[in-house]
Each structure stands twice: as structure tokens, then as C-alpha cells.
Structure 1
Amino acid sequence: MTINQKVGYSIILHPETEGGYSVEIPDINGGSWTQGDSIEEAIEMGKDLIGTMLLDETALPASTPLNQLAIPAKSFAVLITVDLTAYRQTHAAV
């Protein structure tokens, strides 16, 4: 029986002046970054980066609650969930 391992992390979306969003993931690897052209794409890129960074990890970093993040003006934070079990099944080396 496989147990689904779902994790939730807060991410901060920073609007870029020329469009799109930079995505900050403060709890992964001391602060990791990615980007997307829309909010939806930025969130998906954040999920992908979390899955990639945690693919082989057994000890997962703690998640900072949304209300404890330092969020710059014009930026906003969301909580996203990543199913690490599904991610590992589709991205693990064969």
C-alpha cells in the first residue's frame, strides 16, 4: 500500500514590471526562486520546483505560515500543496 505524501508550502509571488511573476519559496533550500508568465503558471512552476527540490529528500523542511512571511508591497503569498508521491512516480529516474 502506498501512502500519499502531500506537503504544503507558502510561496510569495512578486509581480514583474514587464509582466509575469517571480516566485519565491522561502522554506526550500534557504530560499528558492522560479517564475511564470501568469499567476497560474507561476504557481505551477512553484509546485514543480518544490517537487524537484524535495524529490529525494526524506527529511522535509518546515513550512512557514502565511502570516509569518515578510511580504513586500505589491507582492502576495499563497499556500500550495504538492503531492510528492505522485511527483516521484512521474519524475523519478528509471
Structure 2
Amino acid sequence: MDEIRVFPIIITKDKGSNEYPYFVEIPYIDGMTEGKSIADAMEMAKDYIGTFSLENDLPESNTKLPKVKEEVVVTLVTVNVSEYKRKHDNRAVKKIITIPNYLNELGKENGINFSEIMTAALKKKLRA
């Protein structure tokens, strides 16, 4: 079962910035990011939370909206942490495979990187 988390975010428009005018605060993980539009800011917040989850434990979901000034947007974002980790966790893991000896010998003679070949084959097979 996938791990789904929900967090409030605070979006403030910075009238002085043209490229990324929407500043995003993610108070429950002390995160900050920015976006080109409100929708982009929400996506950037989801990405920030997902990236944060790769190396840190996330707090439990929190749907309590913080009190803020009237000129800001407060909303909730939902992040499928499990899906994010499946797509973005690039840590190397050691796997043991069995291949015929003649392929092993030919590969060594030709300087083949077996891990690189296996990764490419898996990506192709899994369309990843």
C-alpha cells in the first residue's frame, strides 16, 4: 500500500520577482521553494516534499492550515511518497545475477560494465 502524505503550504506572491514570483513555505518540514504560477508552486512543493522524503523521515500528515495574512494562499498538497521514491530513488543496490561463463569472459575481455548494461536493459524492459 502506498504511503500518502498531506501537508499545508503557504504561497506568497513576490511582486518584485518576474521569473519565480510565487514563494512557497512548507511549515511542517521547514521547507521553501518557488514557482512560476500557483499551480507550478504547488508542484514544486510536492517535489520538495518528495525529495525531502528520500533522506528524511516525514512527519505524519497534517491538514491543519496555519493562520496567515489575507494576501497569501494556503492550501493542502498530497504527495504519494511511495511513488516518488520509486521514480527518484537512484541509490545503487547490489544484486547478484547468474550468466553463462563465456559471456562473463567475453565481457571482461571487452571491458564491459555489467552493472551499466543491466541497468540499461532493465530500463528498456520496464519502460522506466
* Runs of 4+ that moved beyond 4 A: none
Count of aligned pairs between the two proteins? 87
Secondary structure of the 1:55 match is helix
Q: Is the 8 A contact 2:8 2:76 kept in 1?
A: yes
Greater CA radius of gyration, 1 or 2? 2
Deviations 1:27-68 (A, max 9, x none): 01xx210000100110000000000111244x43142501xx
**Matches for 1:1-94 after TM superposition, within 5 Å:** 3-18=1-16, 19=18, 20-28=21-29, 31-57=30-56, 59-62=57-60, 63=62, 65-66=64-65, 69-93=66-90, 94=92
Opposite residue 71 of structure 2, the aligned amino acid is: K
Query: In 2, Cα distance between the equivalents of 1:87 and 1:56?
Result: 12
Highest relative contact order (Cα 8 Å, sep 6+), 1 or 2? 1
Structure 2: 5+ residue runs without aligned partners? Answer: 93-128
CA RMSD of aligned residues (A): 1.5
- Deviation, 1:72, is 2.3
Query: In 1, Cα distance between the equivalents of 2:43 and 2:63?
Result: 19
Structure 1: 5+ residue runs without aligned partners? Answer: none
What is the percent sequence identity of the aligned residues? 34
**So what's the TM-score if we normalise by structure 2?**
0.62
Opposite residue 85 of structure 2, the aligned amino acid is: R
Query: In 2, Cα distance between the equivalents of 1:16 and 1:64?
Result: 25
Q: Greater share of strand residues, 1 or 2?
A: 1
Q: Greater share of helix residues, 1 or 2?
A: 2
Q: Is the 8 A contact 1:23 1:33 kept in 2?
A: yes
